[in-house]
A = this chain, B = another copy of it.
Amino acid sequence: MGETSRAADTAGIAPRDEQRRAADEVIVTDPETTVEIAVRLAAASGFDRSSRDDRARWLAALAEAVEAHRDELVALAAEETHLSAARLTGEVTRTATQLRFFAEVAREGSYVEATLDSPDASLTPPRPDLRRMLRPLGVVAVFAASNFPFAFSVLGNDTASALAAGCPVVVKAHPGHPRLSRRVVEIGRSALGEAGAPRAALALVDGFDAGTALVRHPLVAAVGFTGSTRGGRALFDLASARPAPIPFYGELGSINPVVVTPAAAAADAAAIAAGLAGSFTRDGGQYCTKPGLVFVPEGSGFEAALAGALVDAPTQTLLTDGIASAFDSGSAALAARDDVEVVFAGDRATDASAPVVVATTVDRFVAAHDTFLEECFGPLTVLVRYTGDAALMAALAVLDGSLTGTIHHAPGEDVAGLTGALGRVSGRIVYNGWPTGVAIAWAQHHGGGWPATTASVHTSVGATAIRRWLTPIAYQDAPAAVLPPELADGNPLGVPRREDGVVIVGS
């Protein structure tokens, strides 16, 4: 795919030695200069000309390197994020699994969508020999998340999928874990270098100004972002306003509505309440998939069961002072409203992550839905009491986009209507389970309508996350010598292809 990269305008940008050294050492000086060096070195790295097999090996090397430094990294992350060693240890495993998963996606090769049509002069217009595939888009900017210091940060999903696609990555560090970010990028660059990959395919920049310079840089071809709706919107606007706009894949706020049907509540309110308590308080409720809005049948005993389940909820210092203070003020404002009733409020004096549950009615929810639909990051959930299908459906009709929608139902119950109502706004529908704990899988989807994501057609988790970093090219009547091997006669690499309209499984 080498000759076909859009990012490879390397004319006249051979970096000076001191620039190369500076970038190698990830020295962050003036933000604009650092961004300029990192992006130009990434664009000129030749990473986009690597083979899928090489990238698969390099991703595996990154996975091994992260695991080899697990103890050191977990300790550093625990210091900076307050997350537990158990959670962070699991997250390192998740991160390595993601890197290996995208290695497999690269190796398998169907993501390039190799498609071949043979000529037919009898058609209007005539059809020449046409061969199409996807190729890397160029340098990708990745904005790391606060709440996943490994799995959605320097070597997280965005980076893993972009590297798998053949795109070099410049990460904007999250200010919540700066030392960890720097250490991970050092380890990653070493692993790349030792495996024979260009180290410049992975770089780190730091600070607000570096972030905006990155989105504006002419050689940056796409942006991946995980964070707040406000921050994401500002950067999306910047990306869209460029002289040449670029795709901005932002995963922003999500309320993750849950519906408990009367039959489910009647069958086992206590178990569902215990599950909810575990899900919305997990690691301080600091998940993009935290269930923040739960429709429960009026008078079902669910609320008492939930309050009971929360008495012994584990404490968790929140990620940053900013998040803690936003949670304090957000939850206090909600609890003070006239149109809610406080179901549970832990003791904030002894537990910074004391969970908060408020309840309201369908009418009140609909009347003030703009407020109730604002994500409050942290261990808080809003119960909406409903009576009857009509009231429930009216409430679901005002929902905004969300990453997930969850239905707790009894066996055999007809949930087609609920599936439709939640599917209107949510990218993943969960049945009799909880939305936290997002599996790494070919069939995963982690996206939803605005404000869950800026581009509601893409995912940031699962195999198809790679598609964000790809763009098509078609070759018309090309000489065999210029065709990438995926498009060559006889399918020498054995990738799944479409030939004259028919899907052919590779060898």
- 0/1 string, A449-471, CB within 8 A of B gives 1: 11100111101001110000011
B478 touches A115 (CB 8 A): no
A97 touches B115 (CB 8 A): no
Check A443/B6 contact, CB under 8 A, given A476-B430, A476-B431. Answer: no
Check A115/B442 contact, CB under 8 A, given A478-B431, A479-B415. Answer: yes
Quick one: which of B110, B440, B445, B475 contacts A132, CB cutoff 8 A? B445
B479 touches A431 (CB 8 A): yes
Let me know if A182 is at the binding interface, CB within 8 A: no
Near B by CB (< 8 A), chain A positions 1-18 give 2-9, 11
A472 touches B432 (CB 8 A): no
Near B by CB (< 8 A), chain A positions 207-232 give none
A128 touches B439 (CB 8 A): yes
Let me know if A388 is at the binding interface, CB within 8 A: no
- A131–B330 Cα distance when bound, in Å, is 36
- Please give me the residue from chain B that is nearest to A475 by CB atom: B429
Which residues of chain B come closer than 8 Å to A110, judged between CB atoms? 498, 503
Which residues of chain B come closer than 8 Å to A496, judged between CB atoms? 503
Near B by CB (< 8 A), chain A positions 90-108 give 90, 93-94, 97, 104, 108
- A128–B437 Cα distance when bound, in Å, is 10
Q: Say how far A471's CB is from chain B's closest CB, in angstroms.
A: 5
A433 touches B477 (CB 8 A): yes
Let me know if A38 is at the binding interface, CB within 8 A: no
Q: Which of A27-35, A239-247, A374-382 contacts B (4 or more CB under 8 A)?
A: A239-247
A4 touches B479 (CB 8 A): no
Which residues of chain B come closer than 8 Å to A11, judged between CB atoms? 393-394, 397
Quick one: which of B412, B445, B476 contacts A474, CB cutoff 8 A? B445
Which residues of chain B come closer than 8 Å to A135, judged between CB atoms? 423
Q: Say how far A279's CB is from chain B's closest CB, in angstroms.
A: 13
Q: Say how far A11's CB is from chain B's closest CB, in angstroms.
A: 5
Check A397/B116 contact, CB under 8 A, given A416-B482, A473-B445. Answer: no
- A247–B7 Cα distance when bound, in Å, is 23
Let me know if A237 is at the binding interface, CB within 8 A: yes
B123 touches A430 (CB 8 A): no
A438 touches B132 (CB 8 A): no
B6 touches A449 (CB 8 A): yes
Q: Could you show 6 A-B contacts with beta carbons less than 8 Å apart?
A: A11-B397, A126-B437, A137-B456, A244-B449, A419-B482, A457-B472
- By a beta-carbon cutoff of 8 Å, the part of chain A in contact with chain B is 2-9, 11, 90, 93-94, 97, 104, 108, 110, 113, 115-117, 123-128, 130-132, 135, 137, 236-237, 240-241, 243-245, 247, 393-394, 397, 400-401, 409, 412, 414-417, 419-420, 423-433, 437-445, 447, 449-451, 454-457, 459, 462-464, 470-479, 481-482, 496, 498, 500-501, 503-506
